[in-house]
Structure 1
Amino acid sequence: MKKHQKHTNLTRRNNDNYAPNEIAILGTNCRNISDLVNKVSQQLSAYKLGYFDASHAKDVNENKLSEYVFHHQGNVQITTSGNVNKFQQRLQFAQYDYVFINGNHYQGAKQILILDDAKEASVLKRLEQLHNIQFIIKLKPETEYFDFLEEKYPNIKNKICYTFNEIDKIANHLNNLIQEKIAPVKGLVLVGGKSTRMGTDKAQLNYFGKPQKEVAKELLANNNLETFYSVRDFSTALEITNEIPDKFLHLGPFGGICSAFQKDPNSAWFVLATDLPFVNDDLIKLVLQKRNPSKTATAIKGKSKEFVEPLITVYEPKAYPILLQYLAQGYSCPRKMLINSDVEIVEIEDDLIRNVNTPEEFKMAKNELKNL
């Protein structure tokens, strides 16, 4: 008998315990852990990093007023209260490339074990937490492995081992761990528009001897991106494979982007509209070259334009929860999200990102493209 499933089985983002990518540091006192995190973070400044720790104050009263103090340069200091909840923490840490956890207080999905003679009993108490050690750090070069560690994990001496002052090597190892989880990029060609001003489907317009949607798909696919069409519904008549129908209905491109993330929240999505016939292979390569996975997105902006172009953009997985937050506030404009988020901007000549929306613009664009 088939088991009844009460809720829709959605694809989830690959999270660790509290963050998309985390590592717990344990085996020594909290001051050493904090010191290590601060030192390696200085060498990993290209990433957005977080540190998850516990207060050491004995008595903390729940504050009745949450305070948000914003510095004029953009920093914010938040004083609030709440309980540790992995679902809430995943929302808070969704924008971080890497989160360090004080393993003396919270358990991480991956671990760095610091060997400190003074903390042998503490390590023994947390022995079961050391199931995914990435590398070892010796507080002092002469520190020996504890016998119980070798009994529990016979291969532990085969793990890479550093000394506490080898910050460069430790930071380089962490950099590799961050790089390993950078999301792959997939392509999304938006073909679900109504084309009201054009009077005919813009995705079917012929600039280069074939429908423009095929040209757009090839631009992405030729750059080794698995590419899908974003459609309002399944197109059985056209028998198009690799379609993503809108699950977020009547929201235009915003709904198409969210539907792609619902299908695969663990990939970045290179979104490309079909009403941009001057976009070429060089431009696609430039965006991929300039892609910054630490940002919410990598977007194009014309040199004389005030705002970015949201439909030639690589949206990172961390963009998905932000898009949903905007939707919860009643906004369905991807440009509004980009303007108010941490985005990598690639400036180019305006002519390359001209939209073609009317029959007159189509004729002009087609004639111009013939002469290129």
Structure 2
Amino acid sequence: MEIPQDITAFILCGGKSVRMQTEKGLVNYKGKPFIRWIIEAIIPITSNIILVTSNGDYSLVGLPMIEDIYPEKGPVGGIYTALKFSKTEKNLILSCDVPKITAPLLQTLVEESAQDASVTLFSDGKNDYPLIAVYKKTALETFAEAISADKLKLCPLVNMISNQKIMITAEQKSLVQNINSKAELQSLIQLEQ
């Protein structure tokens, strides 16, 4: 199946990084910041990559950056900003803390995203991964309503709109794991030694 070029990728680099105590997307993993690993996984799908952040430190990757329209609204605010800014129907949205994500996994997500679903995301049957997902521009209104009602929990919001869940295997689960703390980063590094 052909990968459509009419897709924009947005990496959400907001968040307070409270548990990591430093900007998550800039944390080093195997000699590169998280953000570089994620960009490398996206490049085979689209070169149209935009960071949603107000942190100028991300300028080191040389990609366009946009700031949250509504700051302090978490991932719901970041996704709203991405969809509002996007000029494409399909939008690949990722958090900045998934350094093990791979191009083949993202290609599967994009290729299998259903025409009639507002959101296509991975699930392992127990956990859903709405921060590695394809969001259609049509979801914008739902996100706008959620922000104005201050309903900022992402999973319940995604479950309210038409969605498609692509099941991942136990092996793939490590690829979608988000690394939120120094302890999680340490255990990831130890696992790979």
* TM-score normalised by L of structure 2: 0.86
What is the deviation of 1:184?
2.3
CA distance in 2, matches of 1:183, 1:321: 24
Q: Percent identity?
A: 22
CA distance in 1, matches of 2:65, 2:28: 21
Whether contact under 8 Å (1:230, 1:245) holds in the other structure is yes
Corresponding residue for residue 316 of structure 1: 136
Matches within 5 A, 1:99-178: none
CA shift in 2, pair 1:237/1:213, >3 Å: closer
Q: Runs in 1 of length 4+ with deviation above 3 angstroms?
A: 236-241
CA shift in 2, pair 1:320/1:284, >3 Å: same
CA distance in 2, matches of 1:183, 1:207: 29
Pick 1 or 2: higher relative contact order, CA cutoff 8 A, min separation 6.
Answer: 2
Deviations 1:330-357 (A, max 9, x none): 2122222111121011010333322221
Establish whether residue 184 from structure 1 lines up as the match of residue 6 from structure 2. yes
Match of 2:157 among 337, 355, 358: 337
**May I ask how many residue pairs the two structures share in their alignment?**
186
Give the AA of the match of 1:367: Q
Larger Rg: 1
- Consecutive unaligned residues of structure 2, counting only runs of 5 or more, are none
Give the AA of the match of 2:72: H
* TM-score normalised by L of structure 1: 0.47
What is the deviation of 1:316?
0.3
Give the AA of the match of 1:326: A
CA distance in 1, matches of 2:100, 2:44: 17
RMSD: 2.2
Whether contact under 8 Å (1:323, 1:334) holds in the other structure is no
CA distance in 2, matches of 1:257, 1:247: 10
- Consecutive unaligned residues of structure 1, counting only runs of 5 or more, are 1-181
SS in 2 for 1:361: helix
Whether contact under 8 Å (1:183, 1:268) holds in the other structure is no
CA shift in 2, pair 1:238/1:351, >3 Å: closer
SS in 1 for 2:50: strand
Structure number with higher helix proportion: 2
Matches within 5 A, 1:266-277: 266-277=88-99
Corresponding residue for residue 134 of structure 1: none
What is the deviation of 1:213?
0.7
Whether contact under 8 Å (1:275, 1:356) holds in the other structure is yes
CA distance in 1, matches of 2:96, 2:106: 14
Deviations 1:184-205 (A, max 9, x none): 2110111122110111121112
CA distance in 1, matches of 2:56, 2:140: 26
Matches within 5 A, 1:1-372: 184-231=6-53, 233=54, 235=56, 238=59, 240-264=62-86, 266-303=88-125, 305=126, 307-349=127-169, 350-368=173-191, 370=192
Give the AA of the match of 2:141: P
